[in-house]
Chains A and B, each alone.
Chain A
Amino acid sequence: MTTRMRIGKFAGRAAASMTSSPSWRQYPLGVSVFLIAPLCLLLGFGFVYPVGRLLGQSFFAPEFGLDNYRRLLETPLYMRVLARTVFVALVVMSASLVLGYPVALAMARLRRGLSNLVMACVLLPLWTSALVRSYAWIVILQRRGLVNDVLLASGVISQPIKLIYTEGAVILAMTHVLVPFMILPVFGAIRAIQPELVQAARNLGAGKTTVFAKVLLPLSLPGIFAGCLMTFILALGFYVTPALVGGPSSLLMATLIGQQTTETLDWGFAGALSTVLLCVTLLIVLLFRKALSYNRGISNVA
């Protein structure tokens, strides 16, 4: 017992000295370099070199200059695609918030059994491949799919309506994929609210609506912010769902980049499009970097 206390005391002193001078806790520089070397090799060859090369190509292929960017700016079609990408990402983000907030609230405030059930409903899609979910939406929305069948049988429509391969289908399927990324940070924020605050508000005579508007909502704002940022960024660069569920009229930046790479083989232009998409994403991340740190909680829940 006494030995343990002594060690504890010693450790306390060691911890106190850590801030000023290197201690046993910190590995020497050589060890750190050795530990991080494999990662550097991996990122250098697998990430920095390819992405750098792609961005560089936008200035050099087919010849040196800003031709690729000029083409992007001067073709109305491409500017429309860029605008549509931002618009779809904003709609998906808002839809995720509207659908996700009540679920997060329920998950944080319901009885344990019920909240576990809600949690399972959130984690099930999160753990399913986006590819599988896009396929499921095709099945549901196609000409002879679930929705058309139900609408035909109930007599709302007499002819099957076109649901799949539209912008609406892309928004619906993307929202489905991204809602869990909204729910989890919001859930974390609501759960962190001290129950005493709600009690105090109730005791002072606030009704349910007032408690929500004056206590729960303001205190869950960091989670809302983190969720919005995450869903928006992911929606901007999403490929699988728009490629499968969308049609030619709902071309987004990601699908356009894919098309330029595999169909027209214009790698310089694909590089220019990638650079624009990357810059927009990084700009948003840098502007709202603080909110993103909140999202680390996701890796614990997911």
Chain B
Amino acid sequence: MSPDAEFALATRQVEEGGEGLLLLPRRRRSLSNFLTSTVAGFFLFLILLFLVLPIIVIFPMSFGSASYLEFPPRGLTLNWYRQYLSDPDWRAATFFSVKIALATTFSATMVGTLAAIAFARGKFLGKSLFQALTLSPMIIPHIVIAVAVFIAFSPLNLSGNFFGFLIAHTMLAVPYVVLTVVAALERFDTTLELAALNCGAGRIRAFFSVVLPNIRVGVASGAVFAFLASFDEATVAFFLSGVEGKTITRKMFEDIDFNLTPVIAAVSVVLTVISLIVMGVLQAFNRATVSAQR
């Protein structure tokens, strides 16, 4: 084999994955080599188990028949799901959370997309300062935001209130939308917009028929993150919830602290499955768009 061909082969192996890399130059696998990779694989398995086990555990728990927590469960039942669905408190909390999350998704996507356009295409005084301020809710400890919002909103009757949550959660969700949409705008080939302008389209028409369809993946990802940022959010929800307006996360928080029943496992499974479905849809959407562009 010529050196060139060998190099090409090696490169292909490298591109296909790490295993090929180890074969360059091709050596016979020694016993010690085998042992190290086995030990390394074992440790990797342990770490992955650590990552996944706590999430897997809640599934059998939620179907177990005993009223106290037992693992592994002895009998199977849907009792805890029935209790969750028939309890008016849980239902109210779930409904409240879904309502807030949907409204937050809408408002954060609107506000964030508009701002992202200004950040990517506009020029104004203090732009970088504004960008830093927009992203700061991601970095500033959520406990500080939660306590601050609670103390400021209480006298305004905005605690335990839909609009109070909408404002707080939109503020927490906007950074995700801004990041994804700015990234999409930076990838967008602006000459396409110029072409539309040259063909006689106005600014607004060019935006809606050319720019927006091209950044829609970014906008959609931002919206999904915004939904989860609100729906899974627990810290601000813990402080801002009232007796009437209580999110599902706050209700869970209380129940974990005071009466640890398997109903919580059932709710956990519901929350997890919703998150996984939402993220899965986003991944599928991304993949479909990428393959359509090819």
- Which A116-133 residues sit within 8 Å CB-CB of chain B? 118, 121-125, 127-133
A8 to B180, CA, bound (A): 27
**Is the pair B110, A129 in contact by a Cβ cutoff of 8 Å?**
no
Q: Is the CB of A35 within 8 A of B57?
A: no
Main secondary structure of the interface of A (DSSP, over half): helix
Let me know if B180 and A133 touch, CB within 8 A: no
Q: Which residues of A contact B68 (CB under 8 A)?
A: 144
Which A residues touch B214, using CB under 8 A? none
Of A45-53, A63-71, A154-162, A217-225, which stretch is located at the interface?
A: A45-53
Task: Give Cα A121–Cα B54 distance, bound, in whole angstroms.
Answer: 12
Q: How many angstroms from the CA of A278 to the CA of B191 in the assembled complex?
A: 43
The closest CB in chain B to the CB of A4 belongs to: B195
Determine if A1 is an interface residue (Cβ-Cβ < 8 Å): no
A291 CB, nearest partner CB in chain B, Å: 12
B residues in contact with A115, CB < 8 Å: 17
Which residues 191-232 in A have Cβ within 8 Å of B in the complex?
A: 195, 198-199, 202-203, 208
Q: Which of A153-178 contact B (CB under 8 A)?
A: 176
Whether A136 contacts B121 in the complex (CB less than 8 A), given A50-B153, A261-B150, comes out as no
Contacts of A134 on B, CB cut-off 8 Å?
256
B103 at the A/B interface (Cβ < 8 Å)? no
Which residues of chain B (206-234) have a CB below 8 Å from chain A?
225, 228, 232, 234
> Is B124 an interface residue, CB under 8 A from the partner?
yes
Docked pose: A26 CA to B190 CA in angstroms = 11
What mask results when residues 77 to 90 of chain B are scored 1 for a CB within 8 Å of chain A, else 0?
00000000000000
Closest to A31 in B: B122
Chain B residue nearest to A11 (CB atoms) is B191
Q: Does B102 contact A (CB under 8 A)?
A: no
- In the complex, whether A16 has a CB less than 8 A from a CB of chain B is no
Which of B123, B143, B232, B275 is close to A29, meaning CB atoms less than 8 Å apart? Answer: B123
Q: How far is the CB of A180 from chain B (nearest CB, A)?
A: 8
Q: Is A42 an interface residue (CB 8 A)?
A: yes
CA distance A253 to B144 in the complex (A): 10
Are A7 and B194 in contact, with the CB atoms below 8 A?
yes
Cβ contacts under 8 Å, B111 to chain A: 38-39, 42
Partner of A132, one of B25, B152, B180, B271: B271
Question: Would A54 and B144 count as touching, CB distance under 8 A?
Answer: yes
Do B58 and A32 touch (CB < 8 A)? no
Please determine whether B151 and A50 come into contact, CB atoms closer than 8 angstroms: yes
Indicate which residue in B119, B124, B179, B264 contacts A299 across the interface (CB closer than 8 Å).
B179
State whether A144 touches B24 (Cβ < 8 A): no
B76 within 8 A of A: no
Chain B residues touching A, majority SS: helix
Contact between A274 and B148 (Cβ–Cβ < 8 Å)?
yes
Known: A47-B171, A125-B54, A199-B10. Contact between A25 and B22, CB under 8 A? no
- From 99 to 137 in chain B, residues with beta carbon under 8 angstroms from any chain A beta carbon are 110-112, 114-115, 117-119, 121-124, 130, 133-134, 136-137
Distance in angstroms between the alpha carbons of A22 and B150 in the assembled complex? 44
User: Chain A residues with Cβ under 8 A from B148's Cβ?
Assistant: 50-51, 53-54, 274
With contacts A132-B58, A277-B141 taken as known, whether A7 is within 8 angstroms of B191 at the C-beta atoms is: yes
Which residue of chain B is the closest to A300 with respect to CB atoms?
B183
Contacts of A208 in B (CB 8 A): 22, 36
Q: Is A77 among interface residues, defined by CB-CB distance under 8 A?
A: no
Is A27 within 8 A of B256, CB to CB? no
Bound state CA distance, A139 and B205, in angstroms?
Answer: 56
Contact A237 B144 (CB under 8 A): yes
Residue in B144, B151, B228, B268 whose CB lies within 8 Å of A267:
B151
B15 and A129: CB pair below 8 A?
Answer: no
Q: Does A262 contact B (CB under 8 A)?
A: yes
Cα distance, A180 to B48, chains bound together (Å): 11
Cβ contact within 8 Å between B47 and A8: no
Q: Is the CB of B180 within 8 A of A136?
A: no
CA distance A208 to B68 in the complex (A): 51
Q: 1/0 per position for A1-15, CB-CB distance to B under 8 A?
A: 000000110110011
The answer to whether A24 and B275 have CB atoms under 8 Å apart is: no
Q: In this complex, what residue of B is CB-closest to A48?
A: B133
List chain A residues, Cβ under 8 A from B197.
Answer: 24
- Name A25's contact: one of B112, B121, B142 (CB within 8 Å): B121
Q: Which of A10, A32, A127, A237 contacts B124 (CB 8 A)?
A: A32
Can you list 28 A-B pairs with a CB-CB distance of less than 8 A? Answer: A10-B198, A33-B124, A36-B118, A36-B122, A43-B133, A43-B134, A46-B167, A46-B168, A50-B151, A50-B152, A57-B151, A102-B40, A110-B17, A111-B17, A129-B272, A131-B232, A136-B57, A136-B268, A138-B256, A140-B53, A180-B51, A239-B143, A239-B238, A267-B151, A277-B144, A281-B139, A292-B139, A299-B183
7 smallest CB-CB distances across A and B, nearest first, come from A237-B141, A32-B122, A109-B18, A136-B54, A50-B152, A111-B17, A50-B148
Given contacts A124-B51, A138-B256, 19 further A-B contacts (CB under 8 A): A31-B122, A39-B112, A43-B133, A49-B152, A50-B151, A53-B152, A110-B17, A121-B52, A124-B276, A130-B232, A131-B234, A131-B268, A146-B57, A176-B54, A202-B24, A237-B141, A239-B141, A258-B143, A300-B180
